[in-house]
């Protein structure tokens, strides 16, 4: 575009894009500003953070580390044998990856902490222990990424429309997409 921006404003555009998904990619006159421009105003570390956030926010089916204190993004390139999507992986392809941040072993089938010689808790094959733990804290698992999500049930006006950190929007009661939910 022919828009003019000072280095300070360009830098702000790129830094905001790393903090707010709606600002990614940074734009001027409605057009995406190339990273080559951003490299002129960002530090090396900021460029790497930008690239990481760009990859995360451009991933349709996001997965995150199941360790609550970590919750690092698990890029699709980390998954062995990945085809169209993580959710389409077959049971016989079950394997383990390490979280790039906290190094915990993660089952690639259910995206939970690896569980040697135990039944994988993907979909309806939830273990009784996990089911009990979810009920104790009043949580349900996101139907897309399987992460535990809590809702304030003490509030009579609690909304049934949930939005997970993976981007999935689903109904608390039926666990279906909010667009197809009938209640």
pLDDT tens for 76-123 read: 888 875 533 444 444 444 588 999 999 999 988 788 888 876 666 554
Would you give the DSSP letter of residue 91? G
- Classify residue 1 by burial, with Cβ atoms within 10 Å: 0-12, 13-18, 19+: exposed
Mean pLDDT over 31-53 rounds to: 95
Strand partners, 96: 107
Residue 87: CB partners within 8 Å, gap ≥ 6? 61, 144
Question: How far is residue 129's CA from residue 157's CA, in Å, rounded to a whole number?
Answer: 30
Q: Give me the helix-helix angle, 7-19 and 44-57, nearest 10°.
A: 40
Residue 179: per-residue pLDDT = 82
Q: What's the pTM?
A: 0.60
Cis before 25? omega within 30:
yes
The mean pLDDT of 56-61, rounded to a whole number, is 88
Residue 34: pLDDT above 80?
yes
Q: 179 vs 35, which has greater pLDDT?
A: 35
Q: Looking at residue 132, what is its pLDDT? A: 76
Closest listed residue to residue 148, CA positions, set 167, 161, 125, 165 = 165
Identify the pLDDT of residue 1.
67
In this prediction, residue 48 carries a pLDDT of: 96
Q: How confident is the model over 125-174, as pLDDT tens digits?
A: 566 777 777 778 778 888 777 777 887 766 666 788 888 877 888 888 78
């Amino acid at each position: 575009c022919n828009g003019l921006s000072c280095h300070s404003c360009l830098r702000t555009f790129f830094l905001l894009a790393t903090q707010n998904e709606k600002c990614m990619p940074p734009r001027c006159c409605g057009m995406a500003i190339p990273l080559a421009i951003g490299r002129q105003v960002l530090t090396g570390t900021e460029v790497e953070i930008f690239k990481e956030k760009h990859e995360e926010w451009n991933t349709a089916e996001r997965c995150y580390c199941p360790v609550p204190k970590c919750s690092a993004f698990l890029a699709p390139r980390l998954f062995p044998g990945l085809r169209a999507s993580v959710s389409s992986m077959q049971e016989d392809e079950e394997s383990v990856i390490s979280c790039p941040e906290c190094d915990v072993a993660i089952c690639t089938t259910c995206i939970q902490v690896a569980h040697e010689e135990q039944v994988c808790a993907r979909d309806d094959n939830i273990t009784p222990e996990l089911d009990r733990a979810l009920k104790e804290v009043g949580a349900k698992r996101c139907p897309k990424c399987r992460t535990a999500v809590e809702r304030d049930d003490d509030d009579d006006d609690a909304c049934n429309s949930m939005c997970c950190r993976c981007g999935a929007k689903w109904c608390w009661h039926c666990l279906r997409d909010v667009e197809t939910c009938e209640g």
